[in-house]
Amino acid sequence: MEDGGSSHDPDSSKKLVRGKIEIKRIENTTSRQVTFCKRRNGLLKKAYELSVLCDAEVALVIFSTRVRLYEYANNSVKGTIERYKACSDAVNPPSVTEANTQYYQQEASKLRRQIRDIQNSNRHIVGESLGSLNFKELKNLEGRLEKGISRVRSKKVLKPNVSLSLYNLYSFLNSFMKTLQNELLLAEIEYMQKREMELQHDNMYLRAKIAQGARLNPEQQESSDTRDGGLRIRFIFP
């Protein structure tokens, strides 16, 4: 892309060993503009040659620091971009936002199932909704209650002044189950709030990207086309 033997290349002062050029930003404005023009034309020429020699569909878009547009396409830039977007949508995995949404939906569903199971267990402990239990489940419930009563009686032996009835035992267990249920509900709320914050963050990021794209495409542009041996270059000025 560079003309051989050129002694006026602004990059010549940055040559390293073996004649290689150090790739970094050119600080001098004039040198940077000259280098941009040379390499832009070389890149456009290479894109044209690639499309002709290899029968490839090529689209090239360049924006200068002054927001001037230079483009080349052997078909059309818009058509090639639409084709790229169609292929990209077909092979790309779900976005981070979609993955987060799916994760929190699964977690919320899991918490709802746990809360429902605790509510059913709570009702069974106080003697409600026992009709849905089979014999084995009733025996398990009976064993749990008997173990609870045994613990209470052992406490009564250690503390004779403490007198707890079976009703008080049920009240204690009921309070415990409600506390656990509330903790699960709070955990679900926390998950939902965290999900909302992440979605808001993703939304702000997308808005910023859209705003950035709008700044790079001024509403009023003047265009002129030049053709040279089949090579089409379009310049659009702000």
**What is the per-residue pLDDT across 166-186, written as a single tens digit (0 to 9) for each?**
556 667 776 766 766 666 677
- Mean pLDDT over 158-170 rounds to 57
Contact 61, 54 (CB under 8 A): no
- Mean pLDDT over 53-77 rounds to 90
| Domain boundaries 20-92, corresponding CATH code | 3.40.1810.10
- Mean pLDDT over 3-22 rounds to 52
What confidence tens digit (pLDDT) does each residue in 84-128 have?
Answer: 888 866 666 556 566 677 778 888 888 888 888 888 777 777 777
- Mean pLDDT over 66-74 rounds to 88
Domain ranges of the chain: 20-92, 96-215
Contact 56, 35 (CB under 8 A): no
CA distance 51 to 77: 13
CA distance 217 to 122: 63
pLDDT at res. 37: 93
